[in-house]
Amino acid sequence: MVLPRDFDDAHARADSLSLRTSIGVGGRPRYLFEPESEEGCREVVRLCRASGVPLHVLGGGCNLLVTDGEIEGAVIATRNLKHFRVFDDRVEVGAGYGFPALVRKAIDLGIPGLPGCPGIPGSVGGVVFMNAGGRFGSVADALSEVSGLDHEGNVFRRFIQPGDLGYRSSPFAGCLVTGAVFRRDPAQTPEMGQALHRKAMTWKRDTQPLAARSAGCIFKNPPGPYSAGWLIEQADLKGLRIGGAMVSTQHANFIVNTGEASAKDVWSLIMLIQAEVKQRHGVDLELEVQTWA
Ligand SMILES: Cc1cc2nc3c(=O)[nH]c(=O)nc-3n(C[C@H](O)[C@H](O)[C@H](O)COP(=O)(O)OP(=O)(O)OC[C@H]3O[C@@H](n4cnc5c(N)ncnc54)[C@H](O)[C@@H]3O)c2cc1C
């Protein structure tokens, strides 16, 4: 197949995703695009669609497990989509804007929920797609509108309705989120935001391996009273290693890269954990981490 010239540039630009994922594993995509505008994204989506090339969306790479070796198709990275505009009642942010920076600004801007999300790395597009959050706040607390492109490259704008966002789920599968709008609440003072941020940060630091290379929680918490981390810990799997991948000794739902882990090491550990937890507790653990084969 003869590919348009843009693909040659995108091929030359493609580097290893181990450099772009927080866990530090993953191979090289065949093509890498990094558009600087929604229009640029649109061209990439349409080009890939017309050429039959599968397209993956890369945000901050903080909840991703990418296979070793070459990744079939193209990757579109959102890191150049970084607009940030403040209005009286809302804040409009580009998908490539860093979520930790937004969380810090949310304290003074009175964005509900977000001050309770420190220690959650990634991009705004990624946290919208994942509906990221935790016990002290989540994206769903303040997200009012999302703009993006559907799989054919058509621009959409969606006002968030009750029920759109669930536990680590959103209606944006197969889409490219290009921007998001978060509401401001005049009743939320900076002091309130600061207090929530401090409380959430203390809890995160005490319970999760924030300094290690990981992809965040590997498994979703299953329905029922027990968290995935608790089930793994009770199966005596903390500290278990395969190659360079290890079940965190601090939080059993994190797998950390101790040095030279490969995606294969991480996958093997995931499958071992699933088998042990099934045998020990009769529970099927479902992946939270997103995977590119
Ligand atoms: C130390 C650590 C702690 C963490 N703690 C938490 C936590 O407390 N709570 C929590 O929820 N998560 C947590 N995570 C996971 C991670 O921070 C979130 O899942 C975050 O949403 C990932 O965003 P990202 O931009 O890095 O997405 P990526 O990892 O790049 O992508 C994740 C998924 O989102 C898709 N995606 C990314 N950007 C877009 C876009 N613009 N449009 C459409 N799809 C897109 C990707 O295709 C992929 O399927 C943690 C991770 C780490 C490493």
Say which CATH number the domain at 266 has.
3.90.78.10
pLDDT of the residue at 4: 64
Mean pLDDT of 61-81: 96
Query: Is 103 part of a structural domain of the chain?
Result: yes
Write out pLDDT tens, residues 12-42.
888 999 999 999 999 999 999 999 999 999 9
- Asked if pLDDT for residue 1 goes beyond 80, the answer is no
pLDDT of the residue at 3: 60
- Asked if pLDDT for residue 290 goes beyond 80, the answer is yes
Query: Is 201 part of a structural domain of the chain?
Result: no
- The CA dihedral of 250, 65, 93, 41, to the nearest 10 degrees, is 170
Instruction: Supply the pTM of this predicted model.
Output: 0.96
Number of C-alpha atoms within 13 angstroms, CB side, residue 24? 12
Query: Is 24 part of a structural domain of the chain?
Result: yes
Percent of the chain with pLDDT over 90: 95
Ligand 1 pocket: which of 71, 129, 197 to mutate (most atoms within 8 A of CB): 129
Cα 177 to Cα 129: distance, rounded to the nearest angstrom: 8
Last residue of a domain, one of 145, 168, 193: 193
Which range is least confidently modeled, 3-12, 91-100, 211-220?
3-12
pLDDT of the residue at 7: 86
Q: Please, what is the end-to-end C-alpha distance for the chain in angstroms?
A: 23
Ligand 1 centroid distance, CA of 79 (Å):
13
pLDDT of the residue at 6: 81
User: Over the chain, what is the mean pLDDT?
Assistant: 96
- Asked if pLDDT for residue 98 goes beyond 70, the answer is yes
pLDDT of the residue at 12: 83
Alpha helices for the chain (secondary structure H): 5-13, 38-51, 99-109, 124-130, 190-207, 228-234, 263-281
Ligand 1 centroid distance, CA of 52 (Å):
26
Ligand 1: residue whose CA is nearest its atom 51: 216
CA of 124, closest atom in ligand 1: 25
Cα 53 to Cα 246: distance, rounded to the nearest angstrom: 35
Task: Dig out the tokens for 293 from the structure.
Answer: 């084969």
**Closest by CA position to 292, among listed 100, 80, 18, 11:** 18
> Do 124 and 143 meet the contact criterion of CB atoms below 8 Å apart?
no
Residue ranges lining ligand 1, Cβ < 6 Å? 22, 56-64, 78, 95, 119-123, 125-127, 129-130, 132-134, 172, 175-177, 208, 210, 214-216, 290
Does residue 66 sit in the same domain as residue 167? Answer: no
**CATH number (domain holding residue 32):** 3.30.43.10
Ligand 1: residue whose CA is nearest its atom 49: 290
- Asked if pLDDT for residue 2 goes beyond 50, the answer is no
